[in-house]
Amino acid sequence: MSRADRARLGAYGAAACAAAYGSMKLAQALGANALADKDPLPPELRERLLARDPLFVASHWLLAGAAVVGVIVALATVRPWGAAVPRRLLLVIPWTLGIFMIARSIGVVGFGFVGDTLLLTGVHPPPAEHAALARDLARWDLLLWSPFFLLWGTCWTMAGWRLGRRGEK
């Protein structure tokens, strides 16, 4: 597989991940659980999320809409109609999203492989009153969310890389 093909795969992968994430957020906005109870949030925010607090319902609608935009942006990096979008914008968005998602998966923003591993090994113990919940959510984050964000972020950076390389020719 050529470099261009791998990078094209990144753009389609970013679109697929955005569609999957958006579908989950849409389901949550419409009232489904759809992994909401596995979201690594502090206990007080988790309770509001599960109680369908209007702020969280609104955020699900916004995130579902952002995911639709993400699908369009990802496809714009590889489809001919994407040439109508300003090139700088198409470079900045994939790189920014990719770096943020990779950082999140590693643990720079608190969750991720590093934070979850530290919590599960006892190096950074959770609050005693929520220890069991924190360990459960860390396991879910370690096995589902962090790998998902790493994959999604890698796809975004591959799409941005392809676009940057395409401009050099």
What the block records as the tokens of 106 is: 């590693």
Contact 25, 58 (CB under 8 A): no
Tell me which amino acid residue 20 is: A
CA distance 102 to 161: 15
Q: What's the domain range around 104?
A: 3-168
Report the pLDDT value the prediction gives residue 5, as an integer from 0 to 100.
Answer: 78
- pLDDT 10s digits, 134-164: 999 999 999 999 999 999 999 999 998 877 7
Is residue 93's pLDDT more than 80?
yes
Number of domains composing the chain: 1
- Least-confidence region, from 78-82, 106-110, 131-135: 106-110
Closest by CA position to 73, among listed 97, 55, 50, 57: 97
CA distance 1 to 142: 30
Report the pLDDT value the prediction gives residue 41, as an integer from 0 to 100.
Answer: 83
Average pLDDT over residues 17-33: 95
